Amino acid sequence: MVTRLIIMSDSHGDRTIVEEIKKRYQGQVDAIFHNGDSELEANDDLWNGIYVVKGNCDWAAFPERTTLDIAGLRIAQTHGHLYGINYGWTRLDYLAEEVGADICLYGHLHVPAADMREGVLFINPGSISQPRGMIQERLYAQLDIYPDHYHIEFLDRNHQTYPALTRDLKR
């Protein structure tokens, strides 16, 4: 059995794309995450069924981080700015260690990434609205969890796979 997660971040006021992704996947996946900088209100019904955290551009009362268990795995979620992700991995590594995370979701950098570090899968889905870095595509991520590996795909706003970023990583 495959566990599937949808992960987005940094939509910066673009409620329409968050709503579109939610409608497309709600009830079809095990969980949907938004890693902050939505710039939307916390009491918006849009967030029903989405795990969301507060980013540095959010003023609403979202949690700064969440930790939950899905399919026997512990998932830590944060935006990343409070953990100094611009400057290195140390504090985000500590967060993952502190909560016993198998997977750590973050945003803030607007750059898609999926990396294994000390047995923890770290995923930044990039920005669904304002990409930065070498890949100038507005993206979100789909994570499929298999018993022996993770399969990560990044998708554009047309829900098409961005093949150059597809990864399989051993669990």
Q: What is the DSSP letter of 161?
A: B
For the full predicted model, state whether its pTM sits above 0.95.
yes
Q: What is the structure's pLDDT at 44?
A: 97
What CATH superfamily is the domain 3-170?
A: Metallo-dependent phosphatases (3.60.21.10)
Looking only at the bridges linking them, the beta strands covering 149-156 and 139-145 are: antiparallel
Q: What residue ranges of the chain have pLDDT lower than 50?
A: none
Q: What is the structure's pLDDT at 1?
A: 81
With beta carbons less than 8 A apart as the criterion, state whether 44 and 70 touch: no
Delimit the domains of the chain by residue range.
3-170
